[in-house]
Chain A
Amino acid sequence: MRFSKPAALVTGLAAVIGLAACGGGSDEGGTSAAPTKCTNKIVHADAPAVTVWAWYPNMAKVVDNFNNQHTDVQVCWTNAGQGQAEYDKFQTAISAKKGAPDVIMLEAEQLTGFEIQDALVDLAPLGAEKVKANFSEGAWKDVSQGSAVYAIPIDGGPMAMIYRKDIFDKYKITPPTTWDEYAEAAQKLKDAGGPAFGDIGSNVPALVTSLMIQKGAQPFQYDLSDKLNIGIKLDDQATKDVLNYWADLIKKGLVGKEDQFTTDYISGVVGGKYATYVSAAWAPGYLTGQGVGEGDDAGQFAVAPLPQWDESNPVSVNWGGSTFAVTSQSGNKEAAAKVALGLYADDASLEDGWKTQTIFPLNQSVLKSDEFVNAEVEFFDGQTANKDIYIPAENAYSGATYSPFTVYYYAQLQAQMAKIIAGSTTGDQAATDLHKQITDYAKSQGFTVR
């Protein structure tokens, strides 16, 4: 409430001077008047328009599919940046109590942080129950809090180990099934004069968290029904073990320590600088988009299940995966809910999504279709990766619990990873420091820490 008056004043002045002129009539949530600034074309101009922020690479096609099939509601889409860039804007809009879209694409681990600020709408009474059957229990758990449903899942990120067949063949390495074997293979490759076995960057806190959870760590215990209490456990043995494991590989020079998703890293992947890439089901699509798997390195990639700590008790984990949520700033929540439920849910969009490997669909209609199950994935040289690797990994995923301050937690984990990579801290120390930082932060935000 404290923000509204001066914020309105500043915005008003900006509008007078002309800075907001291009915003047009879209200031009231965008649903009352037809928004003037959409990336896409509106097909039925008289239907209420719903503003959407999303960054999927094939979003233009998905939005067109939706708009062509609906006469009662239209989507006005903007790409407000990928991941953190979009969350920063959304967070600012929440603080300003103005400027958020009606529907927003969010990764599952970010939901709680926005739920606690009352920024998202419970979709259960708005039709979410009707689509529940389309999703697995794990996928649905990631978007729900008790009986409330805060988003509709779209894609998941079951994890696996992508590897280079040419390097594995040349040095006679078989895909490791456990992390111990992974370290052994890495040592073998180095001794034979081969490239780095993999890479762990400082900028992939979500990946590191998944690997910690795989070992049995439970970083957060949190339930919105008990809003003020949170359980934090980042200094447990499992977390320390995982951090020490990677610190050790880095120290021995067995894996690279380059930040991922950078030009340097991608050029390394193209050039065979890394033998493996521990990543999620969306990775092939991302890599293809960056030009990996074409030219000299075409057909060189294959995928194997994620290495395990205990082979007799395998654990499946998730990296990324996103959803569509309706914001509480939306002026027309019913229309917005219709979009959140229907966008990227029609057959044509889903098919385009998984065929271009933009998404790993969570919709059972695709997951169970023969075409998807038996698809021979071109990036993996015709390997039936969905059937062999990704579908079993997705089915075994049971959901996770996230904190309401994922952004802060990731920033601190990132800082600790940077220290580990620079060799200035140990896994044990990093876990202890991280635990203290996050606990202090939670207390400063008014939580009671268990």
Chain B
Amino acid sequence: MNLLASQALTWPVIIPLAAAALCALAWHRPAIQRGISLLALALMLAASILLLVQVEQNGTQMIAFGGWPVPFGIVFVADRLGAAMALITAILAFSIIVFGFADIRRRQEHAGFHPLYLGMIAAVAGAFLTGDVFNLYVWFEIMLITAMGLLAIDRTRAQLDGTIKYAVLNLLGTLLFLLAVGILYGATGTLNMADLGLVLADAEPSAALGLVAALFLVAFGIKAGYFPLFFWLPASYHTASIVVSAIFAGLITKVGVYASFRVFTLLFSVEDGGVREVVAVMAAGTMLFGVFGAAVQWDIRRILSFHIVSQIGYMMLGLALATPAAMAGAVFYIVHHIIVKANLFLAAGAIYRASGTYDLRRAGGLMASHPLLALLFAVPALSLAGIPPLSGFWAKFMVIDAAFAAEAHWLAGIGLVVGLLTVFSMSKIWVEAFWKAPPVQRKKPRRVPVLMLLPMAGLGLLTLVIGFSPEPFVVYAEAAAAALLDPSSYIDAVLGTALSPESGDAS
């Protein structure tokens, strides 16, 4: 029990990583792999809850590996934001694997779905919990290579094409990230995030640091799908099988968002050097172009892919303002969006199962044949569009209210317009897939397996819970945002108060 509690920080990474190894050992036994996946993700869920409880009770948690003194070795740190992200990762991974039992085909399992999936979950959790910039790069790479494997798992022409586009742009993104890490190390002599926060707070502004900040913004921008850098996302996400799309939509882009939140609060500040203006323009562009892209599409998965981009813009809006209220809104938005977006992709999978197509022009009549599915789609769809009292309304309200409070009226206005356009494209799916008379009349409606509806219901319920009692979530988000904007608590928790800044000077 003692070991269980003292190592709580590492469990959300170790459990899926070990399970991935076990699944790789049981390569030819899909049944065993399925059992391992389910068990591991349930354990990860429990471990993440334990971690969140520990963070709530004792403040920011830290573990240094290998007995190295703090700024030299690799550390794992969980503050409120990190712990919440780990928990939401576990919730999502668990729900989607349950959905996957009804949707993953035998062929995909033989191609290594389970090891890749678990490896990716481990990498995502690792990226959320690590406190070291180079280690963050390593988790990004693990995430990238497992994601490429998952994307190309069926080896169809469309998938291979999408994977190449995904691979090239994301390789470029991680290269720029590595470049930033290299220059940052040359300029400061440390890679521990807390130590960097301390060193950079006193550092003179220089060309090298400006370059590093720009490179971080571009690298995370590619990963998260920020405005001028998002084109790979709608070009590849819709080709993957729906389980993969769902987990990508929920988690992968948010890792980029999380990383930019971390870097631009702890290492650099959005206040200095025109970063705020750049981020604000990028946020506006991300919101607008994402939703415009979605408006012309007819494939459900592509509509949803463009919507990921558009919604990322709201989170960036929070970062651009960087007031406590705006950051709280952004944190709330991330949590809400992970649940809702993944749920919508699952709904797309269920619509495919029910109507046999992702193309809205050929779907129809699901309202009459699958009323339960219609209900389960309506919850995340209305939430994404920001209809009160669902979680999306509170998320949008917090962000836009903060924008008005910070006198960024044009940003708030764009946020409102984009919200309207989101309603438009959600109602497009609704009208085309559910209300319209079906183009082909079937005698017997195709059944949707209960294993598909169950996780959708679970995630929908979570959306409703957040929507109807937002109070504890808002309080938590505010506390997380306050910790983000005041990095001294993070730095203290990692370095301890006794440590002087000189000890970080390694070069």
Question: Do A and B come from the same complex?
Answer: no
Q: Please report A residues at the B interface, Cβ cutoff 8 Å.
A: none
